[in-house]
Amino acid sequence: MPEPELLIPRSLADVDLRRVPVLFSDVLVIGSGVAGISAAVEAAERGAVALVAKGDLSKTNTEFAQGGVAAPLGPDDSPDRHAEDTLAAGAGLCEEAVVRRVTAGAGEAIERLRSWGTRFDESDGRLALSREGGHARPRIVHAGDRTGLEIERALIDRARRTERIETHERTFVLDLVRNGDGRCGGALAWSEGTGFLLFAAGATVLATGGAGQVYRETTNPEIATGDGLAFAFRAGARVRDLEFVQFHPTLLYIAGAARVLISEIVRGAGAVLRDRGGVAFMKEVHPDAELAPRDVVSRAIQRRMVETGDTHVLLDLRGIPGASGRFPGLAAVCADFDLDLARDPIPVRPGAHYWVGGIAVDPDGRTDVPGLFACGEVASSGLHGANRLGSNSLLEGLVLGRAAGAAAAEERTAPKRPEADLRVPGRRTPTSGTDLNETDLLYSMKSLLGRLVGVERTEEGLVETREMLRFWSRYALTRSFAGPRGWELANMLTVANLLTESALARRESRGVHFREDHPARDDAGWLRHFDLLPRSVRTGWLAPAVAAGPVPGRIAAD
């Protein structure tokens, strides 16, 4: 008997747009991290911008980025050398032209941030540069271990001082809307104060970040629920390479503590990974030991945990002079749990960190939906390939966010009220006395993905995951939710399904996608992207279709 097909509703809310208040702008930017604000500021030089944030403007993945911005500014460095390291990490799937464009724009991006008031660490009057795993040279520009927080502060200040940017905080975007000609015409949103409202725009830029919250262990904040990926797919956009999810090797793992990322800069400064017996195990795994690529370190930790039967390993900073002063953020968090960096190794384990794949875009952020652009973590730009090189993500947001904002503003049409009806025929509402326990379902999904679609994967585990996700989806995605909690659950279920389909399709190991049953990289058969396209099943309902995308070097929207 064939497995039931996965059905995804075209929209989350049954809303007649003719009855919803509308706000007009030239460009709508959804997301207020480094990519979103970079896009908004650039677009505002050409027109009026509505900048929409799910929470407060500052509550983004950017705020939690501790490491820094990769920029080839050292005396023995260059954009070409930075590009070579990026291409090597990407395992054959980078788009070389995009890589070289981004690394060439790094110097200008850093100077732009400094002109906006960003305060980076300096040494002897020059920018201090650190080294991270995968980088052959020190090229990480940082502000202690709170670089993202400092960059976000400067970006928000710039956005608030830009007259043609109107900000809308604590506003949940449910779905994109399309005009009669198929062009993206803006988005349907909801806020507690106003209820449903429609943002009508001449062009729309998505910068909604990743979806780390589909996993139980993640460095991402609570808002990272894959909303942009889900509603772009529902609107007809193709998504690419979602099997590539980067896990950060060192996530603080203490019962009762928030899962805090411990920056790679800490290992770059000399911190050592040890098992519970005190053995420094990375030297036997890779020549670069603790500075090996993140996927290598994550798998080494995972395997050591399995071998020792532990839930974590230890990160030892005791050999770093003045560690608490060098890493005050980490020291403060650890002090809350009576851990002293000079005395105590820190318990760590891998956690979902960055979605390398995303919405397929061209070098200026165009998707295959007219009028819709994407940038930053939600996009698959070609920069990262199969594995993101550390600290390239903030750089991507700065360079390609700016490019997407410019392209969107230049190619916008006159905004108009879309006439689309988002009501989905056949959607169910609860009919029994027992309502859906959203918390229980979400916890079960997170645990399932962590076990079977995590650092290492198998065909058997992925098939089991697909069956379970489709079972949950048959009763969760076909019902009507009344608020953000349910809408987030629907988005996370959608993204989890797409991730699992992509991971099943790629029967090899490449970059951050590791299949225990196919452990080798296979360039002869699998050196290509994988796309998922929304196929219309019937009015109001979609299903994903897997297709082989272009080989690297030929990225283009239809």
| Active site positions, annotated | 294
Strand partners, 272: 316
The helix/strand/coil state of 282 is: helix
User: Is 73 within 8 Å of 138 (Cβ atoms)?
Assistant: no
DSSP, residue by residue, 406-471: HHHHHT---------B---TT-B---SSS---HHHHHHHHHHHHHHHBSSSB-HHHHHHHHHHHHH
DSSP, residue by residue, 335-386: HTTT--TTT-PEEEEEEEEEE--EEE--TT-B-SSTTEEE-GGGEE-SSSTT
DSSP state of 109: H
Furthest C-alpha separation in the chain: 71
DSSP, residue by residue, 59-85: -STGGG--S-EE---STT--HHHHHHH
Q: Can you point out the beta strands (E) in 136-256? A: 140-141, 165-168, 171-178, 184-191, 195-206, 239-240, 245-252
Distance CA 167, CA 160 (A): 8
Distance CA 541, CA 11 (A): 9
DSSP, residue by residue, 200-225: EEEEEEE-----GGGSSSBSS-TT-S
Distance CA 312, CA 250 (A): 10
The helix/strand/coil state of 298 is: helix
Consecutive H or E run containing 156 = helix 147-160
Q: Who's near 234: CB < 8 A, 6+ residues apart?
A: 8, 9, 10, 11, 175, 176, 494, 534, 542
> Residue ranges of the alpha helices (H) in 184-293?
227-234, 264-268
Distance CA 445, CA 439 (A): 10
Closest residue by Cα to residue 214 from 23, 499, 20, 7: 499
Distance CA 24, CA 275 (A): 57
What is the distance of C-alpha 492 from the center of its chain? 13
Consecutive H or E run containing 548 = strand 541-548
Distance CA 382, CA 90 (A): 9
